[in-house]
Structure 1
Amino acid sequence: MPAIAIVGATVLAGAELEPIDDAIVIFDEVIRAVGKKSEVVIPRDAEIIECNGRTLLPGLIDTHVHTQLHPVRRLISGGLTTVRDLGWAPDVVLPFAKRSESWGVQGPLVLAVGPIITEPDGYPTHAHWHGAQITAHQLRSASEARDIVRVLVSQGAWGIKFAVDDRRGPTLPSSVLSALIDEAHHLRKKVTAHVGTVVELKKVLDAGVDELAHMLMADERIPDELISQMVDQGVAISSSLMFRDAHDYATAIDNAARFHDRGGVLLYGTDIGNGGATPLITGPVPGVEVREFIALTQAGLEPQRALISATSAAAAWLGLEAVGQVTVGFKADLLLVRGAPHAEMKHIGNIEQVWRSGASVL
């Protein structure tokens, strides 16, 4: 693959997405050079792309999607070079995720957890979103919990997801949750949870959960002591704020803001394909979702920090190596946008080009 030289763009470089104005980035499958024009020599055979007035940043990572509800080509053309699928039938989505490692510009890299583990008749067994019934895996005992974790990990699951939503049905007891999480941790896998109410949040925190799949689903204020417990335990939250109903949006933003203020890790996530996050006009679009980024800024993140939540911070949380940064030696998963999204968040939607491992998508 011949080298490509991006010339004149503002580059958001490194883990902190520090802006370098009037920069040059050279890449093939990986990034070969990053710096100011005076610091970088362009190879003679490189394809030069003049990008004045543009910003080059890492390809975006959405930590909460449902890939079987959208053509993956739309996800990558919309700026997502990596996604994590948080719920589908494992015999479908786990092989699908494996294939994503080698399908190039046809779609993003997909990580997947497989099913949403739940109590018999618990959420999402009776949910109305498409695919809910085949996504639910019902557990009856702690031994079954350990067994399914071992099976899913052997099949390539990124981690484990369960649901405890007492608004929608019965929930897993603490003994089963503890076994599920303990077995996952024994196998060095993280556990994420769909959590309905404050009561269930306390239960999953005491069991040692690693992450919330989105902000608390109920329109309830999370007590300050539970916010502190989440932060102290290193629990992360995949945001999925913008699809909330109007009446509980303010509560979700307040919970997210207090979590962020105390040092909690908020990751960019949209729940594309599920619930309010559908192909409808009111739901997130397949690809970068400007409204989710704006919601993160309403929760107190500066635009640059919101972008970090969808790039280097997301890559670190997901355990991805050499992804999520415009850094020498990292994969050339890149996004070129018109404007300056690190200064004005809405510009993140002005996509002009996407590269996955150096290959152009658009």
Structure 2
Amino acid sequence: MFAATFFDGEEWRDGVIGLVDGRMLLRDEPAPAALPRLDGVIVGGFTDHHVHLQLVDHARLAGSPLGRVVDLGANPDVVAPLAVRASSRDSPRAGSGATSAPRADVLGELRTPHQPEVAFAGAFLTPVGGYPSDREWAPRGSVREIPDADAAATAIAEMADAGASCIKVASNAHAGPVFGDDLFRAIVELAAARGLDVVAHAEGRGEAQRVTRLGARRLAHAPFTERLDDDEIAAQAASVSWISTLAIHSGADLTVAVDNVRRLHAAGGTVLYGTDMGNGPTPVGLNSAELAALRDAGLDDAALLRALAPVDPRTPSAVLLLLPARTADLSLAHPLTAADLKV
């Protein structure tokens, strides 16, 4: 057993970690004075808030520092089973449960790297002919073209019944038609009736401001089409969160996006780590270029850790990561193993 410092998702805490009957257990309790201290600190697996699992070899996520991913555009028939399998895991890696000898399949899980938990939006909702309905990269069944409120209600019910945790709406004025105000607002209300927020892909002048005004609660990309003025930044900081996806950009788009994120963060807004994994040759796992861009946007160690939204490591199914120190480069995090708990 070791005394250990861990991040519970909100703050740093002290506890005890060790292997008990083959189980890796993290307990939130005072450590005896004579107990040796773990060399490093513990965090739960990080969250990538914007991925496309149908566009990558998602099996490669096993053993990565990601403990949770949010798929923002996929065929629900394909992505929902991935979420079900992740949520049905019975991992003994962390928690405060019983310490009786584990089953043989549990021991197998201890030896096998875990896939991250999966949340998903299901298919993109877009106007007829809207983005990304004409894109070759969009898998079959990953887009629903919505002509009216009745079609929106049907599509939202389909995503909700499949287990979606949010609804993805495309509002890309650079690549085709976008929903009018009335239909966009109706989609927000229909989603809310199922307990779901709308995450919007907003692209084109004024679109980030418009979809926010109409009720979207999250932007799938930090705005990169234009520099928002200070009043617009204040309004965004008060009402929505932004998923970063900075590293997919270059040139002027990157400069604009980083500047917008810097000012949103300074205004107290919420910035979430997300990579648009699958958009081009992005890493399957933690993206060091995204971390670097967020630092360029002014996020310090604490803010960057919050943006990564690590799972509480006391959660029974949590991926446990070991960092050299609280202020260490987060790209140095690696999955905690039994070898780390040996004197």
For normalisation by structure 2, the TM-score amounts to 0.82
Which of 153, 156, 161 is the equivalent residue of 1:154?
Answer: 161
List 4+ stretches of structure 1 deviating above 6 A. Answer: none
Say yes or no: does 1:229 pair with 2:215: no
- Structure 2 partner of 1:46: none
- Structure 2 partner of 1:88: 74
Cα 1:354–1:176 shift into 2, 3 Å: farther
Distance, in Å, in 2 between the alignment partners of 1:74 and 1:266 is 26
Which of 186, 206, 209 is the equivalent residue of 2:193?
Answer: 186
Q: How many Å apart are 1:240 and its aligned residue?
A: 1.0
Say yes or no: does 1:204 pair with 2:191: no
- Structure 2 partner of 1:140: 147
Q: Which is further off, 96-105 or 174-183?
A: 96-105
RMSD: 2.7
Cα 1:197–1:224 shift into 2, 3 Å: farther
Distance, in Å, in 1 between the alignment partners of 2:333 and 2:265 is 28
Cα 1:301–1:29 shift into 2, 3 Å: same
Deviations 1:289-341 (A, max 9, x none): 122122222212111221122125xxxxxxxxxxx2245xx33524334533x
Cα 1:36–1:117 shift into 2, 3 Å: same
Distance, in Å, in 1 between the alignment partners of 2:58 and 2:207 is 33
CA contact (8 A) 1:77 1:287 kept: no
Q: Which amino acid aligns with 2:60?
A: R
Distance, in Å, in 1 between the alignment partners of 2:142 and 2:34 is 52
Distance, in Å, in 1 between the alignment partners of 2:188 and 2:25 is 36
Distance, in Å, in 2 between the alignment partners of 1:116 and 1:143 is 16
Q: Which amino acid aligns with 2:241?
A: A
CA contact (8 A) 1:72 1:106 kept: no
Q: Which amino acid aligns with 1:76?
A: A
Which of 45, 49, 60 is the equivalent residue of 1:59?
Answer: 45
- Structure 1 partner of 2:247: 242
Distance, in Å, in 2 between the alignment partners of 1:178 and 1:8 is 51
Q: Which runs of 5+ in 1 are unaligned?
A: 43-49, 313-323
Deviations 1:51-100 (A, max 9, x none): 42x33211111111111233333223121111111111122112332222
Q: Which amino acid aligns with 2:327?
A: A
Cα 1:310–1:35 shift into 2, 3 Å: farther
Cα 1:92–1:133 shift into 2, 3 Å: closer
Q: How many Å apart are 1:132 and its aligned residue?
A: 5.0
- Structure 1 partner of 2:17: 25
For normalisation by structure 1, the TM-score amounts to 0.78
CA contact (8 A) 1:142 1:179 kept: yes
CA contact (8 A) 2:132 2:138 kept: no
- Structure 2 partner of 1:350: 332
- Structure 2 partner of 1:302: 300
Distance, in Å, in 1 between the alignment partners of 2:76 and 2:174 is 26
CA contact (8 A) 2:171 2:200 kept: yes
Q: Which runs of 5+ in 2 are unaligned?
A: 90-108
Distance, in Å, in 2 between the alignment partners of 1:240 and 1:217 is 10
- Structure 2 partner of 1:335: 320
Distance, in Å, in 1 between the alignment partners of 2:53 and 2:30 is 36
Distance, in Å, in 1 between the alignment partners of 2:24 and 2:241 is 31
Q: Which is further off, 30-39 or 253-262?
A: 30-39
Query: When the two structures are aligned, how many residues end up with a matched partner?
Result: 314
CA contact (8 A) 1:56 1:334 kept: no
Percent of matched pairs sharing the same residue:
27
- Structure 2 partner of 1:316: none
Q: Secondary structure at the match of 1:184?
A: helix
Cα 1:290–1:141 shift into 2, 3 Å: same
Distance, in Å, in 1 between the alignment partners of 2:33 and 2:318 is 24
Cα 1:252–1:19 shift into 2, 3 Å: farther
